[in-house]
Each structure stands twice: as C-alpha cells, then as structure tokens.
Amino acid sequence: MAKLARVCLSLRARFSTQVRPLAAVPGQGPVPVVTCKRQQFNLYQHDLPASPERIKFGELPLASDGWRHRRSNGDYFIIHPVQRAYEAYGLSNLTFPELGISEPLVENLKQQHVLSPTHFQVEGIRAMLDGSHLLLAAETGCGKTYTYLVPVVEQILRRRLHERQRDFNTPLMLIITPGRELAQQIGAVAARLTDGTGIKTRIVLGGRTKQQMLNPSFEDIDILVASFGAISKLITSGIYRMELNGHGLPCVNLNGDMILKLRLGQFEKFQQAEVNVLSTTDVASRGLNTIRAAHVINFDFPLYTADYIHRVGRIGRIGSRNDCLATNLISSQAEIGAVQRLEHAARTTNVLRNVDANVKGIIRRRMQKLSGMPNEGDILTVGNQKG
C-alpha cells in the first residue's frame, strides 16, 4: 500500500506538469492527447484521425499492446483531458418557472445552488409534465435525479390542491434503487426539494424489516424511496481491510459486507472531510453522489466498460474539480484487453463501443423479442446514451 501511494503521487506530479487543455496555444508546441512512457506512442492533436468512427479496434498501434510481456512492468500511458461542450451538461436559457415549476420548488432549488436547468433537464421535465412514459439515459453526474424529481413533485403539489383524503401508506411516487446508499441519497435530495411544501418523504431500507413487519406504521406518504433489498434479512459485518491506516493514510472502508448503519457512517466521514481517502468495493461506484472525490484509483481494473464508467464517474459530477485524476493499475491478461479498448477510444477521440450499460439499446432489443409490445417509437427517450 505504501508503494501504491508513492506511485499515485508520482503520477499526479507528472500529470500536473504535462497536462494542458485540448486547445491550440500559439508558441507552445503540439497539444497532447495521449502521452506514454515510450514516447513513440505519444499522440497529439494534429495526429488525430479525420474519421475516427471508421477505425476498427485493433487497427491502431497501442502502448498497451506490449503489456502481456513480462518486461512491460512499470509501463504507463496518460490520457489528457479534452475540453468539449456537451449539450446535455450546458445550461439552458429557460428558467424553472418558465417550465411550469412553482415558486416553492424554485426556492428550494436555489437553496441547493441549482439556479438554471441544463438542456437535458429541460427536455426531461417538459416530457414528464406532459405525461409521457420516459426512459432517461445520460452520462453519469449530469443531473438525472432532479430531472425526474422536480416534475413529479410539481405534479404532486398540483394534485394535492384538489385531492381528497388518501388512505395511509399509499405513496404517489415510488422510487426503487439498486442499493441502499443510493436510496438514502435520493431520499435526502427529495426531502430538501420538498422542504416546506407539506410533502412527506419516507425512505425504506433493509436492516430493520423484521421490526417493521412486527410493528407496522400507518402514515401519510407522498414519496417513498426504497431499495431492492428492503425486505432482505439483516446483513452481517465482515473483516475490514485497514492497511491504508497502518501506513499513515487516514482511511475509511466501505464494502457490501458491512451493516447499513456502519456503511452510511463511513461514507459520511468522507463527505464531511474527516478523512480524505475512501477504500471501497463496487458498492460505491454506482449512484453515490460526491464532489469531494478528486482521484479514483482502480486497484483492480474493471473488466466491463460500464463498470469503469461508473467508477470514474465519481469524479465526473457536476461541480467536481477540473483537475481530477483516474489511475488504473493493470496486472492481469484480462485487464489488458479491457484497457486496450479504453486506449483505442482515447486515440480516436471516439466513444467507447459496446458498453454493457446501454440501457436504451437493451430495452429496445428486449421489446423486439416480445410480441404485442410497443415499438421504439412508442417510448420517448431523453438525452444521449454514449456507447
């Protein structure tokens, strides 16, 4: 672990002296896109292919091609940041009131420093207020949570003006998440958004389900946020690895074997800057929203592109620092094949192909196999799902 820390600090120092935005600077030489330990594999802006989409995987020389040889130990390449204006991230000229959002929600959004919607949010909010069935697919960190929360909460406020008494435990909005931390996070966002509106939000997580079954509560609920494992048995804590603490790096650990209360407490320590290092399994790679992360170190490189995108997405949030880094340690044959796809995409400045999390494509293919289901034109999709 001490050696790992030294390697990461060395890479950060090297990166900070070499990196420049991908924009021509007169008199400062070529602009780097990929720089390598073996300089013959360096790639600069003026060397970029004119039609990258036509270049098939395997046709470009890669620095990682030789990583299967035992002498490749210590080799590396650095992908430099590319400044691009993604329309989904850009702020729209429209305001939330112009989209039909009421003043209480607009004020609560301002309290969270959300002053204007992005282009993606404008499309999504409009479609949801129109009553369309939606599949929201976009890059991680671009504001999808507010895209569906804001219009649905607005509809709940409108409905409550004319609604009669509802039965207990009959929520108007149900949000189901794959993980409990994500449910806790979305529930907190919903609570802040609805502050002072009278809308009641409840979060249901695993870990206390037996007690809830024996002593059920009956209450008014407008928004219910729940995890898939809300009815699972209590999980037990495992043996936590504490090597980083032993090397003088204050660290908290997060893994799926911990009980929920402990996991939330550990993550909160990182959020509140009590510690600056979070050692975690994939339990934290999807959905958890933090802008404190500045450096993602993949000690075990993910074999699936979708998993890699979700991991490095922790430093790609709206509001994240501009100098964030992702360091990947490659140590197996399977990992080399995965990193070569990443290097190929960087050298062609193209999208990553065949990403497993292409939700839009998966849904479309499944629908085509089912008879009597609506075709693609019957589902309104918002945003771009980049392969």
Q: How far is CA 73 from the centre of its chain?
A: 31
> Can you give the pLDDT at residue 361?
59
Neighbouring CB atoms inside 10 A of 32's CB total 17
Give the residue ranges of the chain where pLDDT is below 50. Answer: 17-26, 85-86, 209, 212-216, 231-243, 374, 376-387
Domain ranges of the chain: 81-164, 165-243
> Can you give the pLDDT at residue 274?
85
> Can you give the pLDDT at residue 85?
45
Neighbouring CB atoms inside 10 A of 15's CB total 17
Of 314, 308, 281, 309, give the one whose Cα is nearest residue 295.
314
Determine contact, residues 387/102, Cβ cutoff 8 Å: no
> Can you give the pLDDT at residue 360?
56
> Can you give the pLDDT at residue 314?
81
> Can you give the pLDDT at residue 62?
92
Domains 81-164 and 165-243 share a fold: yes
> Can you give the pLDDT at residue 67?
92
Answer yes or no: CATH 3.40.50.300 is held by domain 165-243: yes
Q: Which fold has domain 81-164?
A: Rossmann fold (3.40.50)
Report the predicted TM-score, pTM, of the whole model to 2 decimal places.
0.49
